[in-house]
């Protein structure tokens, strides 16, 4: 949720900076509830992220909380990808030209292609994160579906391929991780 909502480094106007001032922002309701509870309970990191990036957008009325399986129409929808956080979603886009999945925090590191059960210290539920990651990799492997992991090095777009019992990432330029 945060990667897609936080302002860019050059957004220096302070808390609540809207890098896209005419946009409407959508957040998974389950994730909002989780991070808001953490912030109100005094969690410093969650509090700073929530108060700086999310709460001001909700307060300003330019953001909406929607279900984790929200369908926006025109081929754009949220799909649940719980584990990293209790309400994390991936974003699927289907057009006449093909399909793309914005994989959010399903994958943090290319090493997880070979070790899908490896979760990071940032995963709220490491077992659920690993199960989500494995199911995602099984779904997209060898499908030709374009995947955009939030944390891979640029250029981030590619496809997931199966290599025996593990997976690899093939960038659109043909390089393989």
Delimit the domains of the chain by residue range.
1-66, 71-171
Residue in 122, 114, 158, 150 with CA at minimum distance from that of residue 6:
150
What are the pLDDT tens digits along the chain (177 aa)? 333 444 444 455 555 567 777 889 999 999 999 999 989 898 888 888 888 888 888 988 899 999 999 999 999 999 999 999 999 999 999 999 999 999 999 999 999 999 999 999 989 999 999 999 999 999 999 999 999 999 888 888 999 999 999 999 999 998 888
Kindly report the CATH class assigned to 71-171: alpha beta
């Amino acid at each position: 949720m945060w990667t897609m909502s936080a302002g860019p480094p050059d957004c220096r106007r302070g808390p609540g900076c809207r890098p896209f001032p005419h946009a409407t922002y959508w957040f998974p309701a389950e994730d909002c509830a989780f991070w808001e509870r953490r912030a109100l309970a005094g969690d410093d990191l969650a509090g700073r992220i929530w108060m700086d990036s999310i709460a001001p957008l909700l307060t300003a009325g330019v953001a909406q909380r929607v279900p984790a399986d929200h369908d926006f129409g025109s081929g754009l929808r949220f799909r649940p990808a719980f584990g990293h956080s209790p309400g994390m979603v991936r974003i699927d886009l289907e057009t006449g030209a093909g399909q793309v999945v914005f994989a959010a925090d399903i994958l943090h590191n290319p090493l997880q292609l070979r070790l899908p059960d490896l979760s990071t210290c940032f995963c709220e539920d490491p077992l659920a994160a690993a199960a989500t990651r494995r199911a995602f990799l099984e779904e997209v492997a060898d499908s030709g579906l374009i995947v955009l992991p939030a944390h891979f090095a640029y250029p981030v777009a590619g496809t997931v391929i199966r290599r025996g019992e593990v997976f690899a990432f093939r960038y659109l330029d043909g390089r393989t991780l």
